[in-house]
Amino acid sequence: MKIITKDDIKPVCPHCNKELEEIHRKKETLSGTLLQPISIYVCPYCSKVLSITTWYSW
């Protein structure tokens, strides 16, 4: 399978179908757990969650 880099693609929100020129991120810290911090990525138009990422702090 080929991976092709293209600069003319505009991502679309899977919830509201608007073209995304930017994505908003909210950072949170979970207390009492090894998973810290987390980032929540949301659509700037409908505010629905697009992704949540986390990483371990050892």
For 15-44, how does the pLDDT look when each residue is reduced to its tens digit (9 = 90+)? 999 999 999 999 988 776 666 788 999 999
What pTM value is reported for the model?
0.74
Phi, psi of 3 (to 5 degrees): -110, 120
The DSSP bridge pattern shows strands 24-28 and 35-42 to be antiparallel
Q: Which helix (H) or strand (E) holds 41?
A: strand 35-42
Q: Does the pLDDT at position 54 exceed 90?
A: no
Query: Is the pLDDT at 13 greater than 70, yes or no?
Result: yes
